[in-house]
Amino acid sequence: MLRLRHNLAQLPRTLVCATPGMPPQVCRGLYLFWVDGLFIALSFAFYNAFLPLFILGFGASNSQVGLMSGLSSSVGILAYLLATRATAVVGGRKRIVVFVRVASRFAVVAIALVPLVASGQAAVYLTIGLICLLVLLENLGSPAWTALVADIVPMPIRARYIASRTTVKALARTVAVAAAGWLIRSVAFPGGYQASFITGAVVGLGAALAYSAIPVDSGPEERPSSRGGAGFSFTRPLLLYVAARAVWSLGYFLAAPFYSVYVVRQLGGDESTVGMFASVSSVMAVLGLVAFSRLVEKRGLRSAWLMSGLLESVVPWLWAIAPGVWFGVVPSAVDGLLLAGLELVNLNTMLMLTPAESRTQFIAVNSAILGTAAMLGPLIGGGLSDVIGFAPVFGLAGVLSLAGCVLYCAFVTEPVQPSARLSQAPDSF
């Protein structure tokens, strides 16, 4: 029995490090990065999808839900612009990632404690403020995290490893979101939310512990330039890529923050229904990762992005025509399938388009540009939905995302991989 438990405990390490000739330090880093992904996915599942419903419990309007998403995106943009400087102040990319892993979980605990100190509109705005703090902390470490992926995961196995890691995250979310929805519904407002959020915060500390043990150097590009971290220029391929994604993202965020609100207020669902739909998305994400990892190998990153981006544009239209709450399974499934592909493709594309010597700064500015779309989308969507309803807003969202795909198709070419592309990707991933 003890031997069986030991073998099961070593199974993740065996799967991640199955490549022949993998150096022990690289293998250890890949395993710990895998564990980090597992714990951070579990953590997010217990609070992220339920934040809009949490402020609805205090009596928030659709516009206030949009305000929450828009303001948090604005703060996120500021965080991206400060990320390079913060990385240098903290002392390196790895340190900033661990710091935000810990600090952001305490922000989640603070959100859970809001009902103890406020109610009504005061609680709405206090929660929005704390959510902005949460996003600020998380986004400060995001560019450094993305840049470090290139140092942790060797190029020959990167696409398959990221697909494998994201698959584990999707499976974890499937279980955790369903459990969170059941917990919230069983205990009711606000106790169910408090229990779920605190659970997510505690689990998230496990991600910080795992990431802190990854044997990776911080790298040379931590220091901001003398011009405040903007001492570089966008290459034309990166500029065109970011522009197309910004238009697509504006359409996506015009509708996506309101799906859970739509389920509860328009279709007659509840927190458990939202959790179920999130679980469906997570299950489909696993299939999406398998499909898109193979598609990237056969057709390239550009074709994979166009396929997933075009089909994802249909999701808000599916929500707009939903005849009942049961139909929500369809757009939720499509959403999970395609977003998994987009996550895989976008990360690999960014790592290929950005030079190593200024990768953190490139990613920070790119994230700030995309964050602007994430800020404007919910603000516009929330205001319009209060005036004309959800369905027209969802229709407009699909049109904008489709326009982003047209721009991508017209101007973005296949990213050129470094010379490491000549290496064969092992079959173990």
Q: Provide mean pLDDT across the span 274-299.
A: 79
Do 51 and 131 contact (CB within 8 A), yes or no? yes
At residue 425, does pLDDT exceed 70?
Answer: no
The closest of 332, 131, 82, 348 to 230, measured between CA atoms, is: 82
Work out the angle between the directed axes of helices 93-112 and 120-152 (0-180°, nearest 10).
Answer: 160
Model pLDDT for residues 338-354, shown as the tens digit of each residue: 887 787 777 777 777 77
Q: Residue 45 carries which DSSP code?
A: H
Least confidently predicted of 129-133, 138-142, 158-162, 175-179: 158-162
Q: Provide mean pLDDT across the span 38-63.
A: 88
Look at residue 1 in the predicted model and tell me its pLDDT.
Answer: 42
Per CATH, the homologous superfamily of domain 24-215+234-415 is MFS general substrate transporter like domains (1.20.1250.20)
Q: Provide mean pLDDT across the span 246-254.
A: 90
R_g of the chain, CA atoms, integer Å: 21
Distance of CA 350 to the CA centre of its chain: 15
The closest of 315, 300, 296, 306 to 408, measured between CA atoms, is: 306
Model pLDDT for residues 153-181, shown as the tens digit of each residue: 887 777 678 777 877 887 888 788 888 88
| Number of C-beta neighbours around residue 192 at 10 A | 21
Look at residue 5 in the predicted model and tell me its pLDDT.
Answer: 43
Model pLDDT for residues 104-114, shown as the tens digit of each residue: 999 999 999 99
pLDDT band at 386, cuts 50/70/90?
confident
Q: Provide mean pLDDT across the span 318-331.
A: 91
Do 397 and 249 contact (CB within 8 A), yes or no? no
Mean pLDDT of the chain: 80
Look at residue 2 in the predicted model and tell me its pLDDT.
Answer: 44
pTM of the entire predicted model: 0.67
Q: Provide mean pLDDT across the span 135-149.
A: 85
At residue 226, does pLDDT exceed 50?
Answer: no
Q: Provide mean pLDDT across the span 115-143.
A: 91
Q: Provide mean pLDDT across the span 370-390.
A: 84
Burial bucket for residue 78 (CB in 10 Å: 0-12, 13-18, 19+)? middle
pLDDT band at 63, cuts 50/70/90?
confident
